[in-house]
Structure 1
Amino acid sequence: MPELPEVETVRDGLDRLVVGAVVRRVEVFRDYSVRRHEAGPLDFAGRLAGRRLAAAVRRGKFLWLPLTDDDVPGAPATPSDDPAIPSPGRAAAPDEALLAHLGMSGQLLVRGGASADDWRHPHLRVRLHLEGAPATLGTAGHYLDFVDQRTFGHLSVQDLVPDASGLPAGLGSELPLLPGPVAHIARDLLDPHADREEIARHVRRRRTQIKRVLLDQTVVSGVGNIYADEALWRAGVHGRRLAERMRQADVLRVLDAAAEVMSEALVRGGTSFDALYVNVNGESGYFERSLNVYGREGEPCRRCGAEIRREQFMNRSSYFCPRCQRAPRS
């Protein structure tokens, strides 16, 4: 699965290349890719046509593009200090968003230039025709394509609801609004409004193994299997330790390590083991070259030299150093 750094890399690309553009037409080539839009593909296309992509926002592995109307009729003659009231040159606060989840292989690819009309990916599922392309893309064609080989990803138009905290709901926007299906997702460790002390207390209330808690998106979002193993190695904590028996300082050390490893991966564009994991320009990340334990079974630990081990975990694998990360007693 693409993890938080991969999704943040995509969000950043969307912020630079499509925010401010207007959706003029939508083509849905595979209905299943908009299955979470309950009113169906025709309504999905209709709800997007004529809307402006106002921002690119992320919480955990969920992405959304708030939608505003291209033209705001009835705007008052003088500007208002209230951001919810339309003013000349400013659209009303959005109440809907285009929500995206990449699933296992989803990609959001931006295409522009004279040859864009002739380019069509073999796994193209949805195409948004955009107007108002940045100069770097040219004006002959400007598309946002949703490509998904394994078809676990999905797009939908969702109502925005208030975040319970009243704070900005995701990275990329100051609005305390997020799509309804994302309301149960916790903040991630790269969110400037995430309270790590409170997250650590929440972790310690869970009566299960620390790695299972790290993967629980309702506790802390965005941490997947790869970065969980890397964070636990950095913190010197075995994934089978019981969260409820850990000290606050030890949990904070794990959370800090997770934030560090994901920040480093973000600089390199994410961890790309698969050619399917690419950013909006179709480029893969290469952080896998810097992984310390994940996928390194039988190789020496880069800290102590012991042989890295692998064990089964929730139909997946956990990698750890038996010397640096002492297993808990049964």
Structure 2
Amino acid sequence: MPELPEVEVVRGGLAPHVDGRTIERVEVLEQRSLRRQQGGPEAFARTVEGTRVARLERRGKFLWWRLQDAAGQETGQALMTHLGMSGQLRVRTGASVPSPAQASATDGTGAVLLPPPDPAAGEPRGEGPASDPHVHRRVVLHLEGSTLVDFVDQRIFGGLWTSPLVATEDGLPASDGSPDDLLPEDVAGIGRDLLDPSLDRDAAIAVLRTRRAPVKALLLDQSLISGIGNIYADEGLWSARTRYDTPGNALTRGRAVRVLEGTEAVMRRALDVGGTSFDSLYVNVDGRSGYFARSLAAYGREGEPCPRCGGTIRRAVLQQRSCFYCPACQRPLRVSSR
């Protein structure tokens, strides 16, 4: 599933193509991709068509488009996007939809796909077959200037919908770079992420240290800190030398700080190289894959040596999720009296 770095890469890649442009028409090819839209596809088209994209914003794994009317006034609505397990936003500019033969030779936009990861070369195996940008196209947004944005989603877990804007509870900017405190109502219950300068880190650390749940489960709790998924939780915990099943209330303040700092650092490194791509289930808006899979220390490395101590990376299961860790340098912690 795309996590914070991947969604931020998509936001940054998409913004130059859509900022300031009018959404002229919506083409719905798969109604299930609009299942969260109140009123269905008709209401979605009625709310979105004819609006101007003021800017793109993100919190955690949620991406939204701030909309204005023809007069340049905010409509009070946001176009929500969640990529789910395999969602992509792909940009086409003034080009027709490629034929299946053309799509098989490229990624469907003219950009040649990177070769799949090679396990023999130390690259993690893929998590599923690549999405076909022609077959798995679900919704098309037609923007002025012959720009088309395709929502491609093989597994149809993601989607588009609209949500009214509300004020943040803390009165601070809705996201990193946001000019005001307005955010979609459907994001109001989502915690700030580690790249958001308005995140109250002391409060987040305090919550981590009072919970009895495993620290990995706490990192995946989107209401506490958003944007962290399986990959970056495992990598952040490896960085902080902390086992996935360590109870939150076993963390010293210093260790809790190291967990958050380690997770933030690994996400920033991933962001610098376009995110993590095991295959073409996640690509940027122009079809490029991210390179961070080649730098993973623990995730997907079962049976391989730990880059830090040489121990063997193991895989465990916690709450039906795979957890990759090094038993030699990520040892169990006991709850200490504080």
Please tell me the root mean square deviation across aligned C-alpha atoms, in Å.
1.6
**1:167-223: per-residue Cα shift (whole Å, max 9, x none)?**
111234222111111110000001121122221112112221111100000110011
Do residues 99 (structure 1) and 80 (structure 2) align? yes
Q: Secondary structure at the match of 2:13?
A: helix
Q: Say if 1:6 and 1:270, in contact at 8 Å, map to a contact too.
A: yes
Q: Say if 2:215 and 2:247, in contact at 8 Å, map to a contact too.
A: yes
Per the alignment, residue 60 of structure 2 pairs with 60
**1:140-168: per-residue Cα shift (whole Å, max 9, x none)?**
x2111111110001100110111111111
Write the distance in 1 (CA, Å) between the matches of 2:297 and 2:256: 20
Write the distance in 1 (CA, Å) between the matches of 2:98 and 2:316: 48
Write the distance in 2 (CA, Å) between the matches of 1:245 and 1:115: 57
After TM superposition, the structure 1 = structure 2 runs for residues 42-121 of structure 1, keeping only pairs within 5 Å, are 42-70=42-70, 72=71, 91-115=72-96, 121=134
Do residues 171 (structure 1) and 171 (structure 2) align? no
**1:62-96: per-residue Cα shift (whole Å, max 9, x none)?**
000010012x2xxxxxxxxxxxxxxxxxx324410
Do residues 296 (structure 1) and 277 (structure 2) align? no
Write the distance in 1 (CA, Å) between the matches of 2:80 and 2:32: 15
Deviation (angstroms), 1:116: 5.6
Per the alignment, residue 324 of structure 1 pairs with 329
**1:24-75: per-residue Cα shift (whole Å, max 9, x none)?**
11111111110111111011111111100111100000000010012x2xxx
Q: Say if 1:189 and 1:220, in contact at 8 Å, map to a contact too.
A: yes
Write the distance in 1 (CA, Å) between the matches of 2:82 and 2:176: 15
After TM superposition, the structure 1 = structure 2 runs for residues 1-330 of structure 1, keeping only pairs within 5 Å, are 1-70=1-70, 72=71, 91-115=72-96, 121-131=134-144, 139=145, 141-328=146-333
Write the distance in 2 (CA, Å) between the matches of 1:65 and 1:30: 21
Partner amino acid, structure 1, of 2:165: L
Change in 2 beyond 3 A, CA 1:294/1:264: same
Write the distance in 2 (CA, Å) between the matches of 1:154 and 1:284: 21
Q: Secondary structure at the match of 1:55?
A: strand
Partner amino acid, structure 2, of 1:251: A
Identity %: 52
Q: Say if 1:55 and 1:173, in contact at 8 Å, map to a contact too.
A: no
Q: Say if 2:190 and 2:223, in contact at 8 Å, map to a contact too.
A: yes
Partner amino acid, structure 2, of 1:62: F
Per the alignment, residue 104 of structure 2 pairs with none
Per the alignment, residue 87 of structure 1 pairs with none
Q: Say if 2:97 and 2:134, in contact at 8 Å, map to a contact too.
A: no
Gaps of 5+ in 1: 73-90, 132-138
Gaps of 5+ in 2: 100-107, 109-132
Q: Secondary structure at the match of 1:12?
A: helix
Deviation (angstroms), 1:226: 0.8
Q: Secondary structure at the match of 1:104?
A: coil
Q: What's the TM-score once normalised by structure 2's chain length? A: 0.86
Q: Say if 1:10 and 1:280, in contact at 8 Å, map to a contact too.
A: yes
Per the alignment, residue 85 of structure 1 pairs with none
Q: Say if 2:67 and 2:76, in contact at 8 Å, map to a contact too.
A: yes
Partner amino acid, structure 1, of 2:76: D
Write the distance in 2 (CA, Å) between the matches of 1:97 and 1:30: 21
Change in 2 beyond 3 A, CA 1:40/1:115: closer
Deviation (angstroms), 1:329: 5.4
Partner amino acid, structure 1, of 2:303: G
